[in-house]
């Protein structure tokens, strides 16, 4: 099975730069995630959006995409294998400093980058989950997590309720992770996605949380790199 990558990097890239693995939301590697990848590249990183659905498989940015993620949520081992394959592909890009790699993800992608960190790949320095799922993988990994972890979480997010957050905190402590969380009061799911306005479904853009979480991500990678 083949998978897509979308690569964005500074035009002036003449030496190996840190790379950021960008994990897509449940609608797949489409125009919105490509725009985020381009924005990350403007921070002087090689940004690479990694597809975990399969070449050309895309969802609807404003629609129902459960059929695309359900089998991966049910088989987190399969999801982890695809994430690791994407990570390995990033390390083959000639402009990437293979000793300095980070990851960010949104919604389903937030869960993905946490699963990537749980698998403890070499040289993964840090991951940031934006309004991502926090449920454990169930794979019973016990090795200490080496990557630093930042959670940007809307406290009223129905996809990751308080009990998931508390269980995640226990898991991170058990695996000796360097982790931190920024809790955005009044924010729900998908709070970084401008134009989203479906509060009845617990999905709504929150300008302050979006702005603050992006700045927090920048500071985080400045530190881990």
- State pLDDT tens for residues 191-225: 999 988 889 888 999 999 999 999 999 999 999 99
Q: How confident is the model at residue 63 (pLDDT cuts 50, 70, 90)?
A: confident
Q: Which of 138, 83, 128, 103 is nearest to 22 (CA)?
A: 103
Q: What is the chain's length? A: 225
Identify whether the C-beta of residue 132 lies closer than 8 Å to the C-beta of residue 25: no
pLDDT at 166: 94
Hey, CA dihedral for 184, 158, 83, 33, is it positive or negative? negative
Mean pLDDT of 20-37: 97
Q: Domain span at residue 16?
A: 5-224
pLDDT in tens, 161-195: 989 999 999 999 999 999 999 999 999 999 999 98
Tokens at residue 199, please? Answer: 């509060």
User: What CATH number should be reported for the domain holding residue 106?
Assistant: 3.40.50.1820
Pairwise CA distance, residues 26 & 3, whole Å: 15
Helix (H) / strand (E) containing 162: helix 162-174
* Residues 22-28, mean pLDDT to the nearest whole number: 97
Q: How many domains does the chain have?
A: 1
Q: What is the pLDDT of residue 11?
A: 86
- With a CB cutoff of 8 Å and minimum separation 6, the contacts of 6 are 29, 33, 34, 37, 48, 49, 51
């Amino acid at each position: 099975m083949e998978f897509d990558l979308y690569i964005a990097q500074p035009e002036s890239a003449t030496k190996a730069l840190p790379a950021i693995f960008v994990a897509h939301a449940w609608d797949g590697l489409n125009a919105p995630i490509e725009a985020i990848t381009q924005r990350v590249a403007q921070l002087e990183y090689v940004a690479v959006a990694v597809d975990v659905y399969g070449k050309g498989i895309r969802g609807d940015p404003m629609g129902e995409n459960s059929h695309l993620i359900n089998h991966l949520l049910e088989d987190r081992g399969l999801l982890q294998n695809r994430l690791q394959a994407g990570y390995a592909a990033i390390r083959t890009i000639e402009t990437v400093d293979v000793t300095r790699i980070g990851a960010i993800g949104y919604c389903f992608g937030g869960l993905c980058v946490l699963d990537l960190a749980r698998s403890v790949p070499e040289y993964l320095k840090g991951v940031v989950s934006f309004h991502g799922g926090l449920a454990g993988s169930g794979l019973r990994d016990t090795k200490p997590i080496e990557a630093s972890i930042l959670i940007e979480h809307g406290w009223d997010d129905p996809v990751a309720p308080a009990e998931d957050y508390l269980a995640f905190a226990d898991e991170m402590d058990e695996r000796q992770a360097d982790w931190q969380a920024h809790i955005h009061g009044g924010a729900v799911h998908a709070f970084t996605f401008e134009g989203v306005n479906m509060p009845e479904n617990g999905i709504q853009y929150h300008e302050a949380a979006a702005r603050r979480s992006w700045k927090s991500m920048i500071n985080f990678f400045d530190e881990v790199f």
